[in-house]
Structure 1
Amino acid sequence: MSAASLNQPLAALPDLAAPPDGPLHIGLIMDGNRRWAKARGLPRALGHKAGVEAVRRAIQAAADAGIGWLTLFAFSSENWRRSADEVRDLTGLLRIYLRREVNTLARNGVRLRVIGERDRFGPETVAAIEAAEQATAHNTKLNLTVALSYGARAEIAAAARAVAQDVAAGRLDPASIDEETVSRRLATHGMPDPDLIIRTSGEQRLSNFLLWQAAYAEFVFLDVLWPDFDATHLGQALVEYRRRVRRFGVGSG
């Protein structure tokens, strides 16, 4: 994954305030489409299609809850290893979603941004992504980030290469390198770190999602397959998040 494809410039985004009891930024690992379809004797493609409906519900639920930032893990860099048929189904759904949903996103005040190696999806999909980003660029109700062909390790490696190039070119003093130096070169530069990471399907791992950014995030793992996710499940995660005490490494009791 190249530094150029990950570290695209981030235009100024609205500085939305978190609800009084948080969170400001939620990351969602959407897992379970294939198991949902298998349990119903349906083709995988219908599981992914049902997952798109859950995306709509999640975006609306986040907006209704006053969440300012929502990042969806839609397609990992590892997903390219799946069968050619499944990858084709997923990328086709992506194009359809972008074409059909952009007006709804724009009308509802949602600003869309895509992070990850978008060029791997081909020119037609890249054009649809860029059109959707431009059409929603001035919205301020919800900042929606979709991670496509994204992997956190590759993102960090790209940031490290960018730092090394700046040092080699004499633009950066190695003694001045700190966490912010790296953060500025990540795909999420300009975004707040996630306060809460939610994963569906009962699995309890990050799967290479926002590894740097999630250093102090709270985690909630829900035993629900992604196509069944709705506002009730988001509410359950928010209740769990708000009962926790976040210390950020300061104190233990």
Structure 2
Amino acid sequence: MDGNRRWAAKHGLGPIDGHRFGAEKTIKPLVEHAIKHGIKYLTLWAFSTENRKRDKSELQGLFRVFRDALKTNLRELEEMGVRVNIIGDIDWFPKDIPALAKAFVERTKKNKKITVSFALNYGGREELLRAVSRLLEKIKNHKRSLTKALTEKEFSSYLDTAGLPDPDMIIRTGGNMRLSGYFPWQAVYAELYFTTTLWPDFTPKEFDKALLDFAQRTRRFGAGNFGDYLRKIKNSAISS
């Protein structure tokens, strides 16, 4: 979800106006479009650990956007049958935001149309540290033996994304051609798509461009040719 502030500057608006537009006008159409294409998992990186460095006034504005979204705007997702998931260290935010987020997750846990995960205060390195801490806590409580070999599958169960499939595609809006710490463990075989389109301008039409590009790629996973993959697409991640 990259490019909100640049979009706002381009339109003579304040930074928070860009964030608000991106939250209120962009998310729902993309989720509807993902459902239309049969995509079952969508992840939106809304706030990174690096974003914590922004000035206090912008952070306070972002907190207001998050509160409003959780109280009103995102309720439309609930009505659409969306299961909402949160990844990242949300307890960093003011106390009411984690409470609202957790309540939203609880209300939608039985929905099955699509799982939409919001990455809030997420950074890949911090996620890996949390995973190791969870593993060590399990060892400390004698629920896991130190002599047991650690597998990739087990380590994945300690990540924020436990229970979710790895992404098939990662889309980054805003023109930067790097992942900036997004899903360092999960993205090993993800197809990457970078676009200069700013997040508030990332319409379903732009989404289709990314999906078409994905469909034309050959995914080998280090081995054989998987051929045409469009009809089999199950998971997409959009990052900021």
Superposition misfits of 4+ residues, deviation over 6 angstroms? none
1:42 to 13, 35, 41: 13
Alignment of 1:211-230 (within 5 A): 211-230=184-203
Matches within 5 A, 1:39-188: 39-52=10-23, 53-168=25-140, 170=142, 171-188=144-161
| Structure 1 residue matching 2:186: 3-state secondary structure | coil
Deviation of 1:251 (Å): 5.7
Q: CA RMSD in A?
A: 1.6
Question: Letter of the aligned partner of 1:44 in structure 2?
Answer: P
The unaligned stretches of length 5 or more in structure 2 are 226-240
Residue 169 of structure 1, CA deviation: 5.0
CA distance in 1, matches of 2:88, 2:147: 27
Aligned pair in 2 of structure 1 residues 251, 68: CA closer, same or farther (>3 Å)? Answer: closer
Moved more, 182-191 or 171-180: 171-180
Whether the aligned pair in 2 keeps the contact of 1:113 and 1:146 (CA below 8 Å) is: yes
Distance verdict in 2 for CA 1:137–1:205, change over 3 Å: same
CA displacement at 1:174 relative to structure 2: 4.0
Q: Deviations over 1:153-207 (max 9, x none)?
A: 1111111222234445552234511212210100111100000000001111111
Supply the AA of the counterpart residue of 2:41: W
Pick closer, same or farther for the CA change 1:175–1:136 going to 2, 3 Å: closer
In structure 2, give the amino acid aligned to 1:201: G
- Counterpart code for 2:12: G
**Number of equivalenced pairs:** 223
Which has the larger displacement, 202-211 or 156-165? 156-165
The offset of 1:79, in angstroms, is 0.6
Q: Could you tell me the percent identity over the aligned residues?
A: 39
Structure 1, unpaired ranges of 5+:
1-29
Q: Please state whether the residue corresponding to 1:176 is helix, strand or coil.
A: coil
Equivalents in 1 of 2:7, 2:41: separation in Å?
A: 27
Given that 2:4 and 2:198 are in contact with CA atoms closer than 8 Å, whether structure 1 keeps it comes out as yes
Distance in 1 separating the partners of 2:134 and 2:97: 27
AA at the equivalent of 1:154: E
Q: Secondary structure at the match of 2:220?
A: coil
What's the CA shift for 1:221? 0.5
Q: Return closer, same or farther for 1:91/1:214 CA change in 2, 3 Å cut-off.
A: same
The answer to whether structure 1 residue 201 and structure 2 residue 177 are counterparts is: no
- Counterpart CA distance in 2 for 1:106 and 1:51 is 18
- The whole-number CA distance in structure 1 between the counterparts of 2:129 and 2:136 is 10
The one-letter code matched in structure 1 to 2:197 is V
User: Match of 1:95, SS?
Assistant: helix
TM-score if structure 1 supplies the norm length? 0.84
